Amino acid sequence: MIEVGNVTKLYGTLRAVNGVDFKVKRGEVLGLLGPNAAGKTTLMRIMTGYLPATEGTVKIGGKDVFDQPLEAKKNIGYLPENPPLYPEMSVKMYLGFTAEIRGVPRGERRQRVAEVIEMTGLGDVRDRLIDNISKGYRQRVGLAQALVHDPDVLILDEPTVGLDPRQIIDIRNLIKSQAGKRTIVLSSHILPEVSATCDRIVILNRGNVVAVDTQDELTRRASGGEHLRVEIGGCTASDAAEEIEGIEGVVKVETAGGAGDAAKLDVMTAQGADVREAVFKKVVEKEWILLEMSRAGMSLEDVFLQLTTTEEVAHNG
């Protein structure tokens, strides 16, 4: 549905975006994750045709954003970080206006405005001036204007920035409600936002793509293997660690406490090694009690810090 091909944006000698390349499938939710000044907003402006690229291509539904801008933009709903609102208009008037300039046929505008008002929970403020509604409601209005022409693609730049926790949950749920119905690209530097909402993640740093994958795969690759949390009864931590370390595929065992005749262990394995069966058999052989064994991958925050810090060191080096 979306094809970003080798996109570069130069400001003088500064490469704000550097050879970015990825695809987004129909119905997928893709997160653009990166620290401030990573190039997320610049890339989104290029993807929507708001800003020209120095090099590269962007296609939306097969239409080139630069060569076929009108055809491509018909398929895009865009929510910039600061929604383009007119405070002197009422919510309903503003959405009617955006429906008109988005090319919604006259006979369908009233119905379409009513649908997005219901979809985004704006019923209580539909007749109020935008100047007199809260930031959370304004963000909903911004999302409603992005949806009013029923686009196939939603591009959302920091959609929850500046909102309180309740408002963040509401906007997040709105975005989730569109997953599968539309192809969504969501940018954020808030890790829980991306983790809770997105199917795949693109991590940007200094304008470069440093990773593209699902969260589970990113954490697996970053850790270099698997991480198991194991609790065993009927033994000391040192005895359990010594026995588990002898299992093929186990790289390292760290003790994580435990009370009395019980041991809590963090077991790190080689990439591709699944040692769970061997751990179970070892516990049975030693006549211990397996109280818990669960996978415990790196958090998205760990992955993010590892990738962006590595890039930072390489850049400065």
**Spatial separation of the C-alpha atoms in residues 32 and 203, rounded to whole Å:** 6
Residues of the chain with pLDDT under 70: 219-225, 257-260, 297-303, 306, 309-317
216 token code pair: 């589970």
Taking the whole predicted model, whether its pTM rises above 0.75 is answered as no
Predicted local confidence at residue 299, as pLDDT:
64
- What are the residues whose beta carbons fall under 8 Å from the beta carbon of 169, sequence distance 6 or more? none
pLDDT digits (tens, 9 = 90+) for 127-154: 999 999 998 899 999 999 999 999 999 9
Residue 108, number of CB atoms within 10 A of its CB: 13
Predicted local confidence at residue 317, as pLDDT:
44
Predicted local confidence at residue 217, as pLDDT:
75
> What is the helix (H) or strand (E) element at residue 266, kind and residue range?
strand 262-269
Q: How many CA atoms lie within 13 A of 157 on its CB side?
A: 19
Tell me, what amino acid is at 218?
Answer: L
Q: What are the φ/ψ torsions at residue 236 (nearest 5 degrees)? A: -90, 160
185 token code pair: 């690209």
Q: What are the φ/ψ torsions at residue 90 (nearest 5 degrees)? A: -75, 165
pLDDT digits (tens, 9 = 90+) for 27-46: 999 999 888 888 999 999 99
Which long-range contacts (C-beta less than 8 Å, at least 24 apart) are formed by 156-159? 156/78, 156/79, 156/184, 156/185, 156/186, 156/187, 157/40, 157/41, 157/44, 157/78, 157/79, 157/80, 157/81, 157/187, 158/41, 158/81, 158/187, 158/188, 158/189, 159/79, 159/186, 159/188
**Spatial separation of the C-alpha atoms in residues 114 and 104, rounded to whole Å:** 13
The two most distant CA atoms of the chain are separated, in Å, by 77
